[in-house]
Amino acid sequence: MRVESNNLIPDRVDAAAQRLRAATDTRAVTSPLRHEIADADAALGYRVQATNVLQWTRAGRRRVGRKVALTSVTVQRMIGVDAPASGVLFDDMLLNCHAVVPLTQLNQARAEAEVALVLKAALPQSRPTYIDVLGAIDYALPAIEIVDSRIRGWDVGAFDFIADNAAACLVVLGDTPFDIRRHDLTRIDMSMTVDGEAGTTGSGAECMGSPLRALHWLAMDLARRGDPLQAGEVIMAGALGAVVQIARSCRVDARIGLFAPVGVTFS
């Protein structure tokens, strides 16, 4: 069993953050990091993530939201965690509906259909309730998240995944907002196609029972970690079904409930 002095951990965190930051900035991949740091767990992964968020913010990127990941129990077991995880969204990640994404910007990307929730109020409470969360939502948008791990071959554990900003890459937002109070996000259906052919299906229930439940978990977790949600933030609430791998030029479209479809072209 490895024993690591506490005064060495900051150096290891900084080194891991630098490797992931370099891989992100150069659109490259790196080997898994969890084998190089003793007791590399989710908590330490968030320290690495926060280090890079600070560095990117200082470099001029603007933080505009968060993402919830690992909302499926099956995926949690694959990664080796018993709870969801979260990452940070920056302004340069957000794309308009029907955007074109060059494949040269990606490594091992996957697309997943989600509900994006936009907040009109902050959630600074130490223990925000579900009612607090519902009252903080302004509107929702259909969306496609493009995730792309900087860890080679998606060989990730909890530490790698969280340290890598929960594989956040790009977000394609639909054009038409909708009021969550008029729709049951638990029962909302999702279908995603690739070049017009069936890709994957799902529903709001596959996202922790509802995207609203995912947002409540995020609000609670961030408040506990002293980084609460702010007004105006865009929250990607988690996948509504299985992901679609992006390995070639193609068109991906997602339809969520009765709302206008959202699409993206990979070229």
Does 251 score more than 90 pLDDT? yes
Under a CB-based contact definition with an 8 Å cutoff, are residues 155 and 171 in contact?
no
Under a CB-based contact definition with an 8 Å cutoff, are residues 181 and 133 in contact?
no
Q: Pairing between strand 250-256 and 189-194?
A: antiparallel
Domain segments of the chain: what residues? 6-266
Under a CB-based contact definition with an 8 Å cutoff, are residues 140 and 184 in contact?
no
pLDDT digits (tens, 9 = 90+) for 91-104: 999 999 989 999 99
pLDDT in the model for residue 4: 47
CA 242 from centroid of its chain's CA atoms: 14
Top pLDDT among 72 and 18 is at: 18
* CATH architecture of the domain with residue range 6-266: Alpha-Beta Complex (3.90)
Mean pLDDT within 52-78: 93
| 64 confidence band (pLDDT: 50, 70, 90) | very high
pLDDT in the model for residue 225: 94
Closest C-alpha to 95, from 267, 264, 250, 266: 264
Provide the edge-to-edge strand list for the sheet that holds 189-194. Answer: 99-101, 262-266, 250-256, 189-194, 197-203
Mean pLDDT within 68-77: 87
Range with the lowest mean pLDDT among 38-52, 65-79, 205-219? 65-79
pLDDT in the model for residue 5: 46
Q: How many CB atoms lie within 10 A of CB 119?
A: 22
pLDDT in the model for residue 39: 83
pLDDT in the model for residue 192: 97
The mean pLDDT value of the chain amounts to 93
Write down the pTM of the prediction.
0.93
pLDDT in the model for residue 3: 40
What percentage of the chain has pLDDT greater than the value 70? 97
- Where helices occur in the chain by DSSP H, the ranges are 9-26, 42-58, 73-79, 130-136, 158-163, 211-224
Under a CB-based contact definition with an 8 Å cutoff, are residues 167 and 230 in contact?
no
Mean pLDDT within 201-209: 95
Cα four-point dihedral sign 150, 83, 88, 40? negative
Does 1 score more than 50 pLDDT? no
